[in-house]
C-alpha cells in the first residue's frame, strides 16, 4: 500500500522513495551554491552524465542533484569541503567496479574524487551502465 510518510517521502509498497522531483533549474540553483573549482568540476560531470543518458530527468534527491531514468535514480553528485562525490544510488555498483576504482577513495555508496579533476567519461559510462543494468534486473 503506497502512502505519504510525511514531508516529501512516501512508501511505494517496496521502499521509501524521495518525492522531491525538481527541474534542471533547481540543479542549476544547487550548483550556484558551490564555489570554484568544485562548481566547474560538477558541471562537467553533469554534462557528461547527460551526454551518456540524455533521456535522464534531472532531480534533487536527498538534497543533491541526481538523474532519474524510468523512475529509477541512477546517478548523482555532491560537493563537500575537501572532495566531490559521485553517487550511484546503489550499494553494489562501486564494489562491482572496484578494479576500475583503484585511484579513488570510496564508501560503499559514494565515489570520492578531487575538487578540480572531473571523472573520466569512460569511468562515468561504466558506472552508469552498471547502475542501469542493476535497475533493469529489478524491473
Tens digits of residue pLDDT in 20-75? 544 788 899 999 999 999 999 999 999 999 999 999 999 999 999 999 999 999 99
CB of 130 within 8 A of CB of 136? no
pLDDT band of 138, cuts 50, 70, 90: low
Looking at residue 136, its pLDDT comes to 85
Reported as a single tens digit per residue, the pLDDT across 78-88 is 999 999 999 99
Residue 81, CA distances (Å) to 20, 89, 112, 116 in order = 24, 21, 12, 12
Cα separation, 56 vs 33, in Å, equals 23
Domain boundaries, given as residue ranges, for the chain:
21-138
Three-state DSSP state, 129: helix
Cα separation, 38 vs 117, in Å, equals 9
CB of 139 within 8 A of CB of 63? no
CATH number of the structural domain 21-138: 3.90.1150.200
Amino acid at each position: 500500500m503506497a502512502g505519504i510518510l510525511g514531508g516529501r517521502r512516501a512508501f511505494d509498497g517496496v521502499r521509501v522513495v524521495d518525492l522531491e522531483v525538481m527541474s534542471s533549474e533547481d540543479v542549476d540553483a544547487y550548483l550556484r551554491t558551490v564555489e570554484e573549482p568544485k562548481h566547474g568540476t560538477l558541471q562537467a560531470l553533469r554534462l557528461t552524465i547527460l551526454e551518456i543518458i540524455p533521456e535522464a530527468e534531472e532531480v534533487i534527491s536527498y538534497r543533491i542533484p541526481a538523474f532519474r531514468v524510468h523512475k529509477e535514480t541512477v546517478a548523482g553528485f555532491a560537493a563537500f569541503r575537501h572532495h566531490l562525490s559521485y553517487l550511484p544510488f546503489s550499494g553494489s555498483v562501486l564494489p562491482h567496479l572496484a578494479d576500475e576504482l583503484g585511484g579513488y577513495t570510496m564508501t560503499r555508496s559514494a565515489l570520492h574524487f578531487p575538487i578540480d579533476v572531473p571523472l573520466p567519461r569512460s569511468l562515468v559510462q561504466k558506472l552508469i551502465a552498471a547502475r542501469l543494468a542493476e535497475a533493469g534486473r529489478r524491473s
